Amino acid sequence: MKKIVFSKHALLKIEEWKLSPETVEAVVTRPDSLFFDILSRALVAIKKVEIGDVETNLIVVFKPEDGGTRVITAYPCKNIDKEVKAKEGKRWLKIK
């Protein structure tokens, strides 16, 4: 498995949202949806996950680098359809 490195910002968000690094890794390695962000040139992975007792969508922004992956940020999103609709075709290009 490729090495996953977390930026300082990503580590802060993981702590803030009470996410486990394993959950973030699962989103990166097995996303339900995958987009390319044309402004940041990063990949955006989305997966339905459980955070505590709540089922929600987790968005993870990351970049492949040096044989591994650098996670830039991660955040939950209740209304994923609204988030995708606002960005797809404008900023995000659908890959999967």
CATH code, domain with 53: 3.30.2310
Q: What's the pLDDT score for residue 84?
A: 87
Mean of the per-residue pLDDT values of the chain = 92
Q: Residue 60: which domain range?
A: 3-94
Q: What's the pLDDT score for residue 90?
A: 86
Structural domain total, the chain: 1
List the Cα angle 39/41/43 in 5-degree steps. 115
Q: What's the pLDDT score for residue 1?
A: 54
d(CA 18, CA 40): 25
- Within the chain, which residues score under 50 in pLDDT? none
- Considering the entire predicted model, what is its pTM? 0.91
